[in-house]
Structure 1
Amino acid sequence: MNPENTAPEPAEAPPTGAGPAAAGLTAAALARARRRASLVRFWQRYRDRRGGLIGLAGLSLLAIVALCAPLIVGAGVQRVTDAPGTALEPPSARFPLGTDQFGRPLLSLLIWGSRISLTVGLLAAALSVAIGTLVGVLAGHYGGWFATVVMRVTDWFLVMPTLVLAIVLATVMSRSIWTVILAIGVTSWPTTARLVRAQTIAVESRPYIERARALGGGHRHIMTRHVLPNVLPLVLAQTTLGISAAILTEATLAFLGLGDPVVVSWGGMLQDAREAGAVSSGHWWYLAPPGLAIACVALAFTLCGRAVESVLNPRRVVSR
């Protein structure tokens, strides 16, 4: 037989399932590449905001100090019996910020209190945004009488002062840090709900949502796969702004004596200073540190939130 006329042997067929698996790996790698590119674009735009960088640097430093507080000052700083100084000592080389009415160093209390204030702010804001996002997406998606009822309840919470509702909840429940988180979270969600509902309605008016419905996409598929990813940037910006408000509300509740009496927080330090008569006696070093710390943290979160909002809002982002 002439070897030139011999038909070539067919190539060995790939094992069953190799094609779909390879395609799946390629799709996953493509999705990861897109996410990395999105993060890179986000950071490139974020670092152009000087205020956002200043706020991020301040929050990063505070987070490191709060995490390392047990190593820096030790857990014994909360115990009154272990106070190393005398009551209400002014700032000195030994105590840079002075002491409280029990002789505890205010600098150590300030460092330890950052853990509670940041924890309350983060968890309360997360709870508030979670409730607001759920209510907003459901109301915007279903509409009709359901949205009317839900939004009237939202309006009732919106017109009621958040601080008053939080005080009522903190009064009727046991005094603990979790009560404060719950009181702030369940009273500060209406603003997020209205914003998310408006964004949900805008997203569902786009043509690809109609195509998804025509192809058989159900309510859960549309809300989780199409609506929620489009409202997450708004939710992220609202979270950063809500943390500062939660920290201020926690400080107010603690100042009013509604916080956890067994933990050290910045609001609790202000309450102790008031009870010790620091205002009338002129002990300014007892009032200034926690007050300035609350103001600086609230400002840092606000700067970060405004920067994130300007990056994620297409109407405010200047294209390069």
Structure 2
Amino acid sequence: MNKEIKIGTVLLSSYLVWAVGWLIYSYFIRGSITSPYFPVTDMTKELVFPGNHGFLLGTDIYGRSVVEILSAGLAYSLGVSLLVSLTSASIGIVIGYLSVTGSNVIKVGSDLIINLIFIFPSILIAIMVMSVTGQSFWGLVFALVITGWPGYARIARGETMRVINLTYVESARAVGVPELRLFLKVIVPAILPLMMVHIVLGVSGVIISEAALGFLGLGGSEYSWGAMLSIAKTVLLEAPYMVVTLSAVMAGLIIGLNLLGDGLRDYLDPRKSF
């Protein structure tokens, strides 16, 4: 196991423990399942600098603890990114497989849609989709899935073409193994390791995209890190610690995901074995 995997795992594990700890605190300690706890607004404690009045990282313009809004934003960002990445990968695997084994209509149609989506910047497509679906959590997820699945579909298509030409797969198809069983028992397990690498890398991309939409005012939650950065920039001179803290926390998570993804890619590359 290389150093990138180790460092990435340590960083990502620390963020996951942080997010799980916040969820336990929000839903079981300070709140309940039906009424979870969220950072409390207190305008009398607006822009308290870190270390003052018991606030480790200070407060924002609404008097909310920066530690608490960072925690809520972390849980939200990880939840959205995992949901979007897993959904996009699932759609991409299915469409990638069908583009190899399906009819010409499916092949041409999938290629056309993928190319159209890749022509335009993903952030613009997401903005257009959200202008139709409206600003909401599920609208955000839908917009990010729309822009995310084509990348997985291209990878799945290439891997499916490689696997489907292997001798044992051709033999299975020759003896009449059903396509669905072949897909679930052979194709998916064969391409899953490579897809997992791209899912890990894709999570970081979704976090950045979600933050960009939140910064533009199109986020699905007020605790989106992008929305927090948008607020923090308005008081950049008065409270620079907000931008610095938010940027550092987001950068740490992105670096951890990228290190883990790059490490897994090198580890699973058969050429590295020689």
Above 0.5 in TM-score? yes
Go from structure 1 to structure 2 and tell me whether the alpha carbon gap of 1:149 and 1:72 turns closer, same or farther (over 3 Å shift).
Answer: closer
Judge conservation of contact 2:39–2:68 (CA < 8 Å) in 1.
no
TM-fit CA distance, 1:216: 1.4
The answer on 1:128 being equivalent to 2:85 is no
**1:148 alignment partner in structure 2:** 108
Judge conservation of contact 1:85–1:105 (CA < 8 Å) in 2.
no
Judge conservation of contact 1:69–1:112 (CA < 8 Å) in 2.
yes
SS of the aligned residue for 2:112 comes to: helix
Structure 2 distance, partners of 1:228, 1:77, is 40
TM-fit CA distance, 1:227: 1.6
Go from structure 1 to structure 2 and tell me whether the alpha carbon gap of 1:79 and 1:260 turns closer, same or farther (over 3 Å shift).
Answer: farther
- Percent identity over the alignment? 28
**2:33 alignment partner in structure 1:** none
**1:11 alignment partner in structure 2:** none
Q: Please, which of 246, 264, 268 is the counterpart of residue 308 of structure 1?
A: 264
Structure 1 distance, partners of 2:38, 2:55, is 13
Judge conservation of contact 1:141–1:201 (CA < 8 Å) in 2.
no
**1:159 alignment partner in structure 2:** 119
Q: Please, which of 177, 185, 189 is the counterpart of residue 217 of structure 1?
A: 177
Judge conservation of contact 2:39–2:65 (CA < 8 Å) in 1.
no
Letter in 2 for 1:171: S
**1:110 alignment partner in structure 2:** 70
Judge conservation of contact 1:125–1:185 (CA < 8 Å) in 2.
yes
The answer on 1:285 being equivalent to 2:241 is yes
**1:232 alignment partner in structure 2:** 192
The two structures have a TM-score, normalised by structure 2, of 0.89
Structure 2 distance, partners of 1:50, 1:205, is 35
Go from structure 1 to structure 2 and tell me whether the alpha carbon gap of 1:70 and 1:195 turns closer, same or farther (over 3 Å shift).
Answer: closer
Go from structure 1 to structure 2 and tell me whether the alpha carbon gap of 1:61 and 1:203 turns closer, same or farther (over 3 Å shift).
Answer: same
Q: Please, which of 203, 227, 252 is the counterpart of residue 296 of structure 1?
A: 252
The 5-angstrom pairing of residues 85-104 of structure 1 reads 86-93=45-52, 94-104=54-64
**1:3 alignment partner in structure 2:** none
The 5-angstrom pairing of residues 27-42 of structure 1 reads none
Q: Please, which of 259, 267, 283 is the counterpart of residue 226 of structure 2?
A: 267
Judge conservation of contact 1:141–1:200 (CA < 8 Å) in 2.
no
Judge conservation of contact 2:43–2:62 (CA < 8 Å) in 1.
no
TM-fit CA distance, 1:221: 2.8
Larger radius of gyration: 1
Judge conservation of contact 2:23–2:75 (CA < 8 Å) in 1.
no
SS of the aligned residue for 1:98 comes to: coil
Unaligned 5+ runs, structure 1:
1-47
The answer on 1:79 being equivalent to 2:36 is no
Structure 2 distance, partners of 1:49, 1:211, is 37
Judge conservation of contact 1:132–1:191 (CA < 8 Å) in 2.
yes
Go from structure 1 to structure 2 and tell me whether the alpha carbon gap of 1:151 and 1:63 turns closer, same or farther (over 3 Å shift).
Answer: same
Letter in 2 for 1:191: G
Query: Deviation string for 1:20-71 (max 9, x for gaps)?
Result: xxxxxxxxxxxxxxxxxxxxxxxxxxxx211111111111111111111155
Query: Deviation string for 1:256-299 (max 9, x for gaps)?
Result: 111135x423222112223xx223x3421121111221111111
Query: Deviation string for 1:189-209 (max 9, x for gaps)?
Result: 111111110111111111112
TM-fit CA distance, 1:176: 2.1
Unaligned 5+ runs, structure 2:
31-35
Go from structure 1 to structure 2 and tell me whether the alpha carbon gap of 1:143 and 1:294 turns closer, same or farther (over 3 Å shift).
Answer: farther
Letter in 2 for 1:58: L
**Structure 1 residue ranges, 4+ long, deviating more than 4 angstroms after superposition:** 70-77
Structure 2 distance, partners of 1:194, 1:71, is 39
Structure 2 distance, partners of 1:296, 1:311, is 22
Structure 2 distance, partners of 1:169, 1:176, is 12
Letter in 2 for 1:59: L
Structure 1 distance, partners of 2:19, 2:44, is 23
**1:208 alignment partner in structure 2:** 168
SS of the aligned residue for 1:188 comes to: helix
SS of the aligned residue for 1:68 comes to: helix
CA RMSD, 1 decimal: 2.0
**2:13 alignment partner in structure 1:** 60
